Structure 1
Amino acid sequence: MVPLALVAVAFLAFSVPPYLTFDPARSRLEPPPGNDLYYPLLVGHVLFGAVAMATACFQIWPAFRAKHPRGHRITGRVYVFAGVLPAGLLGLYIGWHTAAGPSVRVANLVGSALWLVVTAVGWRMARRRRFGDHRRWMARSFALAMSIVLSRVVNIVATIILTPQVDTTFRGSAELMTYSAASIGVWLSPFVLWVVTDLLLERRGQGLVRKK
Protein backbone atom coordinates (compact mmCIF):
# COMPACT_ATOMS: atom_id res chain seq x y z
CA MET A 1 0.00 0.00 0.00
CA VAL A 2 2.90 2.41 0.64
CA PRO A 3 4.06 2.68 -3.01
CA LEU A 4 0.45 3.02 -4.15
CA ALA A 5 -0.26 5.75 -1.60
CA LEU A 6 2.92 7.59 -2.61
CA VAL A 7 1.87 7.52 -6.26
CA ALA A 8 -1.56 8.90 -5.39
CA VAL A 9 -0.11 11.62 -3.14
CA ALA A 10 2.50 12.63 -5.72
CA PHE A 11 -0.10 12.83 -8.48
CA LEU A 12 -2.51 14.87 -6.38
CA ALA A 13 0.27 17.18 -5.20
CA PHE A 14 1.16 17.87 -8.82
CA SER A 15 -2.35 18.07 -10.29
CA VAL A 16 -4.57 19.73 -7.69
CA PRO A 17 -2.76 22.95 -6.53
CA PRO A 18 -3.24 24.90 -9.82
CA TYR A 19 -7.00 24.53 -9.41
CA LEU A 20 -6.99 25.71 -5.80
CA THR A 21 -6.20 29.22 -7.07
CA PHE A 22 -9.43 29.26 -9.11
CA ASP A 23 -7.43 30.98 -11.85
CA PRO A 24 -8.44 29.74 -15.34
CA ALA A 25 -5.03 30.80 -16.66
CA ARG A 26 -3.43 28.02 -14.57
CA SER A 27 -5.76 25.30 -15.82
CA ARG A 28 -4.09 22.29 -17.40
CA LEU A 29 -7.08 21.97 -19.76
CA GLU A 30 -7.98 24.79 -22.10
CA PRO A 31 -11.57 26.01 -21.46
CA PRO A 32 -13.73 26.10 -24.61
CA PRO A 33 -14.29 29.67 -25.86
CA GLY A 34 -17.51 31.21 -24.57
CA ASN A 35 -18.22 28.43 -22.06
CA ASP A 36 -18.22 30.05 -18.62
CA LEU A 37 -19.38 26.88 -16.87
CA TYR A 38 -16.48 24.73 -18.00
CA TYR A 39 -13.76 26.00 -15.66
CA PRO A 40 -15.73 26.01 -12.36
CA LEU A 41 -17.09 22.55 -13.18
CA LEU A 42 -13.58 21.41 -14.05
CA VAL A 43 -12.37 22.62 -10.64
CA GLY A 44 -15.19 20.66 -9.00
CA HIS A 45 -14.31 17.57 -11.04
CA VAL A 46 -10.65 17.80 -9.98
CA LEU A 47 -11.43 18.33 -6.28
CA PHE A 48 -14.04 15.58 -6.07
CA GLY A 49 -11.72 13.32 -8.04
CA ALA A 50 -8.99 14.03 -5.48
CA VAL A 51 -11.36 12.92 -2.71
CA ALA A 52 -12.08 9.73 -4.65
CA MET A 53 -8.40 8.91 -5.15
CA ALA A 54 -7.49 9.60 -1.52
CA THR A 55 -10.31 7.54 -0.01
CA ALA A 56 -9.90 4.75 -2.58
CA CYS A 57 -6.53 3.88 -1.08
CA PHE A 58 -8.21 3.19 2.26
CA GLN A 59 -10.90 1.14 0.55
CA ILE A 60 -8.50 -1.41 -0.89
CA TRP A 61 -6.17 -1.47 2.13
CA PRO A 62 -6.75 -4.98 3.60
CA ALA A 63 -5.33 -4.21 7.06
CA PHE A 64 -7.43 -1.06 7.42
CA ARG A 65 -10.55 -2.90 6.27
CA ALA A 66 -9.94 -5.76 8.73
CA LYS A 67 -8.99 -3.67 11.79
CA HIS A 68 -11.30 -0.71 11.24
CA PRO A 69 -14.53 -1.92 9.60
CA ARG A 70 -16.40 1.22 10.66
CA GLY A 71 -13.69 3.40 9.17
CA HIS A 72 -13.89 1.33 6.00
CA ARG A 73 -17.63 1.96 5.76
CA ILE A 74 -17.22 5.70 6.39
CA THR A 75 -14.46 6.15 3.81
CA GLY A 76 -16.51 4.02 1.44
CA ARG A 77 -19.45 6.40 1.67
CA VAL A 78 -17.11 9.37 1.20
CA TYR A 79 -15.56 7.64 -1.82
CA VAL A 80 -18.94 7.03 -3.45
CA PHE A 81 -20.94 10.15 -2.56
CA ALA A 82 -18.25 12.83 -2.19
CA GLY A 83 -15.87 11.39 -4.75
CA VAL A 84 -17.06 9.18 -7.58
CA LEU A 85 -20.63 10.42 -7.90
CA PRO A 86 -19.92 14.18 -8.26
CA ALA A 87 -16.59 13.68 -10.05
CA GLY A 88 -18.11 11.20 -12.51
CA LEU A 89 -21.14 13.37 -13.27
CA LEU A 90 -18.99 16.45 -13.77
CA GLY A 91 -16.63 14.31 -15.86
CA LEU A 92 -19.46 13.71 -18.32
CA TYR A 93 -19.80 17.46 -18.86
CA ILE A 94 -16.05 18.07 -19.00
CA GLY A 95 -15.59 15.14 -21.36
CA TRP A 96 -18.31 16.32 -23.71
CA HIS A 97 -16.81 19.79 -23.97
CA THR A 98 -13.17 18.76 -24.34
CA ALA A 99 -11.15 20.55 -26.99
CA ALA A 100 -8.95 17.48 -27.61
CA GLY A 101 -11.04 16.01 -30.40
CA PRO A 102 -13.79 13.41 -30.81
CA SER A 103 -11.73 10.37 -29.80
CA VAL A 104 -10.80 11.91 -26.44
CA ARG A 105 -14.40 13.12 -26.03
CA VAL A 106 -15.81 9.60 -26.45
CA ALA A 107 -13.12 8.09 -24.21
CA ASN A 108 -13.88 10.59 -21.43
CA LEU A 109 -17.62 10.01 -21.69
CA VAL A 110 -17.24 6.23 -21.70
CA GLY A 111 -14.74 6.35 -18.84
CA SER A 112 -16.89 8.59 -16.64
CA ALA A 113 -20.05 6.58 -17.31
CA LEU A 114 -18.26 3.29 -16.67
CA TRP A 115 -16.77 4.59 -13.43
CA LEU A 116 -20.23 5.61 -12.20
CA VAL A 117 -21.84 2.29 -13.18
CA VAL A 118 -19.09 0.08 -11.74
CA THR A 119 -19.11 2.00 -8.46
CA ALA A 120 -22.90 1.85 -8.25
CA VAL A 121 -22.79 -1.93 -8.73
CA GLY A 122 -20.13 -2.24 -6.01
CA TRP A 123 -22.21 -0.12 -3.64
CA ARG A 124 -25.30 -2.21 -4.35
CA MET A 125 -23.38 -5.42 -3.67
CA ALA A 126 -22.37 -4.05 -0.25
CA ARG A 127 -25.96 -3.09 0.53
CA ARG A 128 -27.03 -6.64 -0.33
CA ARG A 129 -24.19 -7.96 1.86
CA ARG A 130 -22.55 -9.72 -1.06
CA PHE A 131 -19.13 -8.64 0.13
CA GLY A 132 -17.10 -10.83 -2.23
CA ASP A 133 -18.80 -9.24 -5.23
CA HIS A 134 -18.55 -5.84 -3.54
CA ARG A 135 -14.78 -6.10 -3.28
CA ARG A 136 -14.42 -7.20 -6.90
CA TRP A 137 -16.49 -4.33 -8.27
CA MET A 138 -14.83 -1.78 -6.02
CA ALA A 139 -11.43 -3.04 -7.16
CA ARG A 140 -12.52 -2.25 -10.71
CA SER A 141 -13.79 1.13 -9.57
CA PHE A 142 -10.40 1.81 -8.00
CA ALA A 143 -8.67 0.80 -11.24
CA LEU A 144 -10.75 3.30 -13.18
CA ALA A 145 -10.08 6.00 -10.58
CA MET A 146 -6.32 5.46 -10.91
CA SER A 147 -6.38 5.30 -14.71
CA ILE A 148 -5.96 9.08 -14.79
CA VAL A 149 -2.45 8.61 -13.34
CA LEU A 150 -1.45 6.00 -15.90
CA SER A 151 -2.95 8.04 -18.72
CA ARG A 152 -0.54 10.90 -17.97
CA VAL A 153 2.41 8.51 -18.22
CA VAL A 154 1.10 6.93 -21.42
CA ASN A 155 0.47 10.39 -22.85
CA ILE A 156 4.10 11.38 -22.30
CA VAL A 157 5.39 8.15 -23.85
CA ALA A 158 3.01 8.47 -26.80
CA THR A 159 4.07 12.08 -27.35
CA ILE A 160 7.76 11.08 -27.42
CA ILE A 161 7.04 8.29 -29.91
CA LEU A 162 4.76 10.34 -32.16
CA THR A 163 6.71 13.63 -32.23
CA PRO A 164 9.11 12.46 -35.00
CA GLN A 165 6.03 11.72 -37.14
CA VAL A 166 4.61 15.26 -37.05
CA ASP A 167 5.79 16.08 -40.57
CA THR A 168 4.74 12.71 -42.02
CA THR A 169 1.80 11.00 -40.31
CA PHE A 170 0.31 14.27 -39.01
CA ARG A 171 1.23 16.40 -42.05
CA GLY A 172 2.92 19.09 -40.01
CA SER A 173 0.17 19.47 -37.40
CA ALA A 174 1.67 19.34 -33.89
CA GLU A 175 -1.83 19.93 -32.50
CA LEU A 176 -3.17 16.79 -34.20
CA MET A 177 -0.22 14.81 -32.84
CA THR A 178 -0.97 16.10 -29.32
CA TYR A 179 -4.63 15.11 -29.60
CA SER A 180 -3.63 11.65 -30.86
CA ALA A 181 -1.24 11.13 -27.94
CA ALA A 182 -3.95 12.20 -25.49
CA SER A 183 -6.39 9.81 -27.16
CA ILE A 184 -4.00 6.90 -26.74
CA GLY A 185 -3.62 7.73 -23.04
CA VAL A 186 -7.31 8.02 -22.17
CA TRP A 187 -8.28 4.86 -24.09
CA LEU A 188 -5.37 2.58 -23.20
CA SER A 189 -4.99 3.36 -19.48
CA PRO A 190 -8.42 2.28 -18.15
CA PHE A 191 -8.37 -0.77 -20.43
CA VAL A 192 -4.97 -1.92 -19.15
CA LEU A 193 -5.82 -1.35 -15.49
CA TRP A 194 -9.20 -3.09 -15.84
CA VAL A 195 -7.54 -6.15 -17.43
CA VAL A 196 -4.78 -6.26 -14.82
CA THR A 197 -7.33 -5.93 -12.01
CA ASP A 198 -9.45 -8.79 -13.35
CA LEU A 199 -6.38 -10.98 -13.80
CA LEU A 200 -5.38 -10.34 -10.18
CA LEU A 201 -8.92 -11.01 -8.98
CA GLU A 202 -9.02 -14.27 -10.93
CA ARG A 203 -5.62 -15.31 -9.58
CA ARG A 204 -6.72 -14.52 -6.03
CA GLY A 205 -9.93 -16.50 -6.53
CA GLN A 206 -8.01 -19.51 -7.79
CA GLY A 207 -5.69 -19.26 -4.78
CA LEU A 208 -8.63 -19.31 -2.39
CA VAL A 209 -10.09 -22.34 -4.15
CA ARG A 210 -6.77 -24.24 -3.84
CA LYS A 211 -6.58 -23.40 -0.11
CA LYS A 212 -10.05 -24.87 0.40
Structure 2
Amino acid sequence: MDNLLYWIGLVAVAVNALTGVLDAGRKRMDLVGAVMVGTATALGGGTVRDVLLDRTVFWISDQTYLLVAIATTLVVFFAVRGLKLPQRLFLIPDAIGLALFTVAGTQIALHWHAPWLVASLLGVTTGVVGGVLRDVLCNEVPLVFVRGELYASAAWAGALVLIGLQELAVSPVVAAWAGMAVILLARLLAMAFRITLPTYTERQ
Protein backbone atom coordinates (compact mmCIF):
# COMPACT_ATOMS: atom_id res chain seq x y z
CA MET A 1 0.00 0.00 0.00
CA ASP A 2 2.85 2.40 0.82
CA ASN A 3 4.26 2.02 -2.67
CA LEU A 4 0.85 2.68 -4.26
CA LEU A 5 0.34 5.70 -2.00
CA TYR A 6 3.70 7.10 -3.07
CA TRP A 7 2.86 6.82 -6.77
CA ILE A 8 -0.62 8.23 -6.22
CA GLY A 9 1.05 11.22 -4.58
CA LEU A 10 3.46 11.73 -7.46
CA VAL A 11 0.72 11.49 -10.09
CA ALA A 12 -1.46 13.85 -8.06
CA VAL A 13 1.37 16.40 -7.91
CA ALA A 14 1.86 16.21 -11.67
CA VAL A 15 -1.86 16.49 -12.45
CA ASN A 16 -2.40 19.42 -10.11
CA ALA A 17 0.67 21.18 -11.47
CA LEU A 18 -0.85 20.80 -14.94
CA THR A 19 -4.09 22.46 -13.83
CA GLY A 20 -2.13 25.31 -12.32
CA VAL A 21 -0.21 25.97 -15.52
CA LEU A 22 -3.37 25.82 -17.65
CA ASP A 23 -5.07 28.36 -15.39
CA ALA A 24 -1.97 30.57 -15.32
CA GLY A 25 -1.86 30.38 -19.12
CA ARG A 26 -5.40 31.74 -19.35
CA LYS A 27 -4.18 34.72 -17.31
CA ARG A 28 -1.25 35.30 -19.71
CA MET A 29 1.37 34.72 -17.00
CA ASP A 30 5.04 34.42 -17.89
CA LEU A 31 7.20 31.37 -17.12
CA VAL A 32 7.97 32.39 -13.54
CA GLY A 33 4.32 33.04 -12.78
CA ALA A 34 3.25 29.74 -14.31
CA VAL A 35 5.86 27.81 -12.31
CA MET A 36 4.79 29.50 -9.09
CA VAL A 37 1.10 28.80 -9.70
CA GLY A 38 1.78 25.23 -10.82
CA THR A 39 3.95 24.33 -7.83
CA ALA A 40 1.58 26.01 -5.36
CA THR A 41 -1.32 24.05 -6.83
CA ALA A 42 0.63 20.80 -6.72
CA LEU A 43 2.07 21.11 -3.23
CA GLY A 44 -0.28 23.38 -1.28
CA GLY A 45 -2.85 20.88 -0.02
CA GLY A 46 -0.32 18.33 1.17
CA THR A 47 1.70 21.06 2.88
CA VAL A 48 -1.28 22.22 4.94
CA ARG A 49 -2.12 18.59 5.80
CA ASP A 50 1.40 17.86 7.02
CA VAL A 51 1.58 21.05 9.08
CA LEU A 52 -1.71 20.13 10.78
CA LEU A 53 -0.45 16.58 11.43
CA ASP A 54 2.86 17.97 12.75
CA ARG A 55 4.86 15.82 10.34
CA THR A 56 7.70 16.80 8.01
CA VAL A 57 6.23 18.39 4.91
CA PHE A 58 6.19 15.75 2.20
CA TRP A 59 8.13 17.65 -0.47
CA ILE A 60 10.81 18.63 2.06
CA SER A 61 11.35 15.05 3.21
CA ASP A 62 11.37 13.81 -0.40
CA GLN A 63 12.25 16.43 -3.00
CA THR A 64 11.09 14.11 -5.80
CA TYR A 65 7.65 15.67 -5.34
CA LEU A 66 9.09 19.15 -5.82
CA LEU A 67 11.05 18.06 -8.88
CA VAL A 68 7.95 16.47 -10.43
CA ALA A 69 5.95 19.65 -9.79
CA ILE A 70 8.56 21.92 -11.37
CA ALA A 71 9.23 19.58 -14.29
CA THR A 72 5.51 19.25 -15.05
CA THR A 73 4.99 23.01 -15.01
CA LEU A 74 7.89 23.54 -17.41
CA VAL A 75 6.81 20.81 -19.83
CA VAL A 76 3.17 21.90 -19.88
CA PHE A 77 4.05 25.58 -20.19
CA PHE A 78 6.15 25.08 -23.31
CA ALA A 79 3.84 22.39 -24.74
CA VAL A 80 0.64 24.45 -24.68
CA ARG A 81 2.10 27.95 -25.03
CA GLY A 82 0.52 29.63 -28.03
CA LEU A 83 -2.37 27.18 -28.28
CA LYS A 84 -5.99 28.26 -27.90
CA LEU A 85 -7.43 25.98 -25.24
CA PRO A 86 -11.05 25.59 -24.07
CA GLN A 87 -11.69 27.70 -20.99
CA ARG A 88 -12.93 24.74 -18.90
CA LEU A 89 -10.20 22.35 -20.05
CA PHE A 90 -8.47 22.35 -16.66
CA LEU A 91 -11.62 21.04 -14.92
CA ILE A 92 -11.05 17.41 -16.01
CA PRO A 93 -7.47 17.11 -14.69
CA ASP A 94 -8.62 19.12 -11.67
CA ALA A 95 -11.21 16.41 -10.92
CA ILE A 96 -8.54 13.72 -11.29
CA GLY A 97 -6.18 15.62 -9.01
CA LEU A 98 -8.95 16.08 -6.47
CA ALA A 99 -9.57 12.33 -6.36
CA LEU A 100 -5.90 11.40 -6.13
CA PHE A 101 -4.95 13.94 -3.49
CA THR A 102 -8.02 13.33 -1.33
CA VAL A 103 -7.34 9.60 -1.16
CA ALA A 104 -3.62 10.10 -0.54
CA GLY A 105 -4.30 12.67 2.16
CA THR A 106 -6.87 10.49 3.90
CA GLN A 107 -4.57 7.46 3.91
CA ILE A 108 -1.65 9.49 5.24
CA ALA A 109 -3.81 10.92 8.02
CA LEU A 110 -5.00 7.41 8.94
CA HIS A 111 -1.41 6.16 9.00
CA TRP A 112 -0.64 9.07 11.32
CA HIS A 113 -3.37 7.73 13.66
CA ALA A 114 -5.79 10.59 13.10
CA PRO A 115 -9.42 9.81 14.10
CA TRP A 116 -11.63 8.86 11.17
CA LEU A 117 -13.48 12.19 10.95
CA VAL A 118 -10.27 14.19 11.19
CA ALA A 119 -8.64 11.93 8.58
CA SER A 120 -11.52 12.44 6.16
CA LEU A 121 -11.38 16.22 6.53
CA LEU A 122 -7.60 16.24 6.14
CA GLY A 123 -8.12 14.26 2.95
CA VAL A 124 -10.49 16.96 1.71
CA THR A 125 -7.98 19.62 2.74
CA THR A 126 -5.27 17.85 0.76
CA GLY A 127 -7.56 17.71 -2.26
CA VAL A 128 -8.90 21.26 -2.33
CA VAL A 129 -6.29 23.64 -0.87
CA GLY A 130 -4.00 23.46 -3.90
CA GLY A 131 -6.89 24.51 -6.12
CA VAL A 132 -7.74 27.35 -3.73
CA LEU A 133 -4.16 28.64 -3.96
CA ARG A 134 -4.27 28.34 -7.75
CA ASP A 135 -7.45 30.34 -8.03
CA VAL A 136 -6.30 33.02 -5.57
CA LEU A 137 -2.99 33.45 -7.39
CA CYS A 138 -4.93 33.71 -10.67
CA ASN A 139 -7.22 36.34 -9.13
CA GLU A 140 -10.34 34.19 -9.30
CA VAL A 141 -12.93 33.11 -6.75
CA PRO A 142 -11.76 29.65 -5.59
CA LEU A 143 -13.69 26.89 -7.34
CA VAL A 144 -14.54 25.22 -4.04
CA PHE A 145 -16.30 28.39 -2.81
CA VAL A 146 -18.34 29.01 -5.94
CA ARG A 147 -22.01 28.11 -5.72
CA GLY A 148 -21.81 25.43 -8.36
CA GLU A 149 -21.33 21.71 -8.91
CA LEU A 150 -20.25 19.33 -6.14
CA TYR A 151 -16.59 19.74 -5.26
CA ALA A 152 -15.47 19.47 -1.62
CA SER A 153 -18.56 17.37 -0.87
CA ALA A 154 -17.52 14.90 -3.60
CA ALA A 155 -14.07 14.68 -2.05
CA TRP A 156 -15.52 14.11 1.41
CA ALA A 157 -17.82 11.37 0.13
CA GLY A 158 -14.86 9.55 -1.39
CA ALA A 159 -12.80 9.92 1.77
CA LEU A 160 -15.64 8.48 3.86
CA VAL A 161 -16.08 5.57 1.44
CA LEU A 162 -12.38 4.78 1.75
CA ILE A 163 -12.49 4.88 5.55
CA GLY A 164 -15.72 2.90 5.72
CA LEU A 165 -14.40 0.14 3.48
CA GLN A 166 -11.21 -0.16 5.50
CA GLU A 167 -13.28 -0.41 8.70
CA LEU A 168 -15.06 -3.34 7.03
CA ALA A 169 -11.66 -5.00 6.54
CA VAL A 170 -11.56 -4.33 2.81
CA SER A 171 -8.04 -4.17 1.42
CA PRO A 172 -6.57 -0.63 1.67
CA VAL A 173 -5.69 -0.81 -2.03
CA VAL A 174 -9.26 -1.67 -3.02
CA ALA A 175 -10.59 0.98 -0.63
CA ALA A 176 -8.28 3.57 -2.19
CA TRP A 177 -9.43 2.79 -5.72
CA ALA A 178 -13.06 2.83 -4.62
CA GLY A 179 -12.62 6.19 -2.92
CA MET A 180 -11.00 7.67 -6.02
CA ALA A 181 -13.76 6.28 -8.23
CA VAL A 182 -16.47 7.83 -6.05
CA ILE A 183 -14.81 11.25 -6.09
CA LEU A 184 -14.10 11.27 -9.79
CA LEU A 185 -17.52 9.95 -10.75
CA ALA A 186 -19.33 12.37 -8.44
CA ARG A 187 -17.34 15.33 -9.73
CA LEU A 188 -17.76 14.45 -13.41
CA LEU A 189 -21.48 13.78 -13.02
CA ALA A 190 -21.87 17.04 -11.12
CA MET A 191 -20.18 18.96 -13.93
CA ALA A 192 -22.17 17.18 -16.63
CA PHE A 193 -25.59 17.53 -14.99
CA ARG A 194 -25.04 20.64 -12.86
CA ILE A 195 -25.60 18.75 -9.60
CA THR A 196 -25.35 21.12 -6.65
CA LEU A 197 -25.93 21.14 -2.92
CA PRO A 198 -28.96 22.98 -1.49
CA THR A 199 -28.24 26.65 -0.88
CA TYR A 200 -29.36 28.83 1.99
CA THR A 201 -32.25 31.12 1.08
CA GLU A 202 -34.44 33.47 3.08
CA ARG A 203 -38.17 33.94 2.83
CA GLN A 204 -39.13 37.22 1.20
What TM-score, normalized to structure 1? 0.33
Which structure's relative contact order is higher, taking Cα pairs within 8 Å and 6+ residues apart? 2
Q: Which has the larger radius of gyration?
A: 1
| Structure ranking higher in helix proportion | 1
